[in-house]
Structure 1
Amino acid sequence: MFENLTKTELYAMLTGVFTASLIISNIIAGKTFDFFSVVLPCGVIIFPIIYIVNDVLAEVYGYEKARKVILLGFLMNLVAVICYNITILLPAPEFFENSDAFGVVLGSTLRLLIASFIAYLAGSLVNAKLMVVLKKWNEEKLFFRCILSTLFGEGLDAIIFITIGFLGTMPVEALIIMIVAQALFKTVYEMIVYPLTRYVIGSVKALPEN
Structure 2
Amino acid sequence: MPDKHPAELHHSYKYYDLLLGAFVTVLLCSNLIGPGKSCVLNLGVNIVPDYTKDHGFAFTSLLVFGAGNIFFPISYIFGDCLTEVYGYARSRRVIWAGFGAMIFATIMSWVVRHLPANPGEEYNKTIVPALDVVFGNTGRIVIASIIAFWVGDFANSFVMAKMKILTGGKHLWTRTVGSTFVGQGIDSMLFYPIAFASIWEPSTLIKVSIFNWLFKVAVEVLMTPLTYAICNFLKRAEGVDFFDRNTNFTPFSLKDE
Query: TM-score if structure 2 supplies the norm length?
Result: 0.76
Q: Distance in 2 between matches of 1:116 and 1:37?
A: 26
2:180 pairs with 1:180: no
| Cα distance change, pair 17–176 in 1 and its aligned pair in 2 (3 A) | same
> Within 5 A, what are the aligned runs for 1:58-69?
58-69=83-94
| SS of residue paired to 1:46 | helix
Is residue 209 of structure 2 the alignment partner of residue 204 of structure 1?
A: no
Q: By how many angstroms is 1:209 displaced?
A: 5.2
**Aligned-partner Cα distance in 1 for 2:147–2:135:** 19
Amino acid at match of 2:125: E
C-alpha contact 1:34 1:40 (8 A) present in aligned 2? yes
Residue equivalent to 2:51 = none
The correspondence of residues 27-38 of structure 1 with structure 2, limited to 5 A, is 27=32, 28-34=34-40, 36-37=61-62
Which residue in 2 is equivalent to 1:17? 22
Q: Which of 206, 223, 241 does residue 193 from structure 1 map onto?
A: 223
Q: 2:96 aligns with which of 56, 71, 85?
A: 71
Structure 1 residue 97 corresponds to structure 2 residue 125: yes
2:139 is matched with which residue: 98, 102, 110? 110
* Distance in 2, Cα, partners of 1:182 & 1:103: 25
How big is the shift at 1:32? 3.2
Looking at structure 2, the residues matched to 106 and 26 of structure 1 have their Cα atoms a distance apart, in angstroms, of 10
Q: Distance in 2 between matches of 1:14 and 1:70?
A: 12
Is the contact made by 2:36 and 2:134 (CA closer than 8 Å) also made in structure 1? Answer: yes
Distance in 1 between residues matched to 2:197 and 2:39, nearest whole Å = 19
**How many pairs does the alignment contain?**
205
> Contact 1:7/1:208 (CA < 8 Å) preserved in 2?
no
For the aligned residues, what is the CA RMSD?
1.8
Question: Could you tell me how far apart the structure 1 residues matched to 2:231 and 2:186 are?
Answer: 24
Structure 2 CA distance for aligned equivalents of residues 157 and 187 of structure 1: 12
1:123 aligns with 2:170: no
* SS, match of residue 111 in structure 2: helix
Which of the pair is proportionally richer in helix? 1
Separation (CA, whole Å) in 2 of partners of 1:49 and 1:154: 12
1:92-145 deviations in Å (ceiling 9; x for gaps): 122221212212211221100110010000110000010000000002110000
Match of 2:198 among 160, 168, 171: 168
Larger radius of gyration: 2
Within the candidate set 98, 106, 110, 1:85 is matched to: 110
Identity of aligned residues (%): 34
Query: What is the rounded CA distance, in whole Å, between the counterparts of 1:33 and 1:90 in structure 2?
Result: 31
Q: TM-score, normalised by structure 1?
A: 0.92
**Whole-angstrom CA distance in 2 between matches of 1:203 and 1:101:** 42
- Residue 47 in structure 1 maps to residue 72 in structure 2: yes
What is aligned with 1:3?
A: none
Bigger drift between 67-76 and 22-31 goes to 22-31
**How big is each residue's C-alpha offset from its partner over 1:35-72, in whole Å with a ceiling of 9 and x where there is no partner?**
64454332211111000000000000100110110011
Structure 1, unaligned stretches of length 5 or more?
Answer: 1-5
Equivalent residue, structure 2, for 1:156: 186
